[in-house]
Amino acid sequence: MIVNSTEFQNNFGKYLMLVAKEDIIITKNGREVARLTTVEPQQRRAEYMDAAIREEVAEYLFNNRKASYEEFLKLYKDSQYRFEYIDGEIYLLASPRITHQITMKNLFFILCNWFEGKKCTPLAAPYDIRLWRNTHKTEPEYKPDGESNSRNHSDENQAVELRNHSVIKPNIVQPDLMVICDLEEKLDEDGYYTGVPALVIEIVSESTRSRDYVKKLDLYMSCGVQEYWIVNPLNKSITIFHFKDYDICDNATYKKSETAKSYIFEGLTVEVDKVFM
């Protein structure tokens, strides 16, 4: 890594951590004048970074960083960390806390029980979903078992044309939970799902709150997701958005002692008190 002397002086502590990953070359007036390196052998330097330090280094290097889709793919392939890519920006997915995991477990258990024997399938993170922002006005719609879940062929062709356009790149996200109703129809030859989940659930943390409530709300609405749940352990609430024609059709927030109800899956209800620890 190469940095100029002013940047190095202003962020000395940051580069003391980053040197655990690679040497830091310092420049002045365009010339290399110094090198910061670790006292440990090169091949062992990463072994001395505990999980918290490694995550902090990754936060400095990658989080909220603008990048091309190709740069993101290279980073994603070479890294041990989990990332999302939304509107040309990289987001590091930090290690979840126990409250997040227990909330996710409780919800996933409820979903698995309710959808048992039905066409739709609940899935949990980590699982990559690729989403393209759509400009056409017909979206896939969940139908009861036995009815078609496919969209109009002309709309499908238009979507494919948009996705193949060289300047349009997908967003890559890892929702905490999702419900997929066209899994068999949208599996590619490598076993990856290529469709749009009918229902997406994100569990809020301090670090993801603004992203879950703003950026992901807009992303899911514009990509054909039909229902979006924001589950907030911080205030023990569940907010449900129903999307139609790429806009918010309806929404409701449920709190302690209340029962959340799905808009698109008739009969799917969740008692708020049974979700949070």
Range(s) within the chain of domains with CATH label 3.40.1620.10: 1-49
Over range 184-209, report the average pLDDT: 92
Evaluate if residue 28 carries a pLDDT over 70.
yes
Range(s) within the chain of domains with CATH label 3.90.1570.10: 98-274
**Model confidence at 158, in pLDDT bands (50, 70, 90)?**
low
The CATH fold assigned to 98-274 is tt1808, chain A (3.90.1570)
The confidence score (pLDDT) of residue 173 equals 95
The confidence score (pLDDT) of residue 35 equals 85
**Model confidence at 165, in pLDDT bands (50, 70, 90)?**
very low
Over range 234-257, report the average pLDDT: 96
Evaluate if residue 23 carries a pLDDT over 50.
yes
Core vs surface per residue 167-197: b (16+ CB within 10 A) or e: eebbbbbbbbbbbbbbeeebeeeeeebebbb
How many percent of the chain have pLDDT more than 90? 47
Radius of gyration of the chain (CA): 22
Strands 31-36 and 89-92: unpaired
**Model confidence at 57, in pLDDT bands (50, 70, 90)?**
very low
Tell me the residue length of the chain. 277
**DSSP secondary structure letters along 94-154:** PPPPHHHHHHHHHHHHHHHHHHTTSS-EEEESS--EEE----SS-------TTS--PPPHH
Over range 8-22, report the average pLDDT: 70
The confidence score (pLDDT) of residue 155 equals 53
Write phi, then psi, for 6 (nearest 5 degrees). Answer: -65, -45
Tell me which of 64-73, 121-130, 179-188 is least confident: 64-73
**In this structure, which CATH number among 3.30.70.1350, 1.20.120.140, 3.40.1620.10, 3.30.70.100 belongs to the domain 1-49?**
3.40.1620.10
Evaluate if residue 51 carries a pLDDT over 50.
no
Q: Which of 69, 256, 98 is nearest to 169 (CA)?
A: 69
Q: Are 45 and 54 in contact (CB under 8 A)?
A: no
Summary mean pLDDT of the chain: 81
Tell me which of 105-119, 130-144, 193-207 is least confident: 130-144
Full-model pTM? 0.71
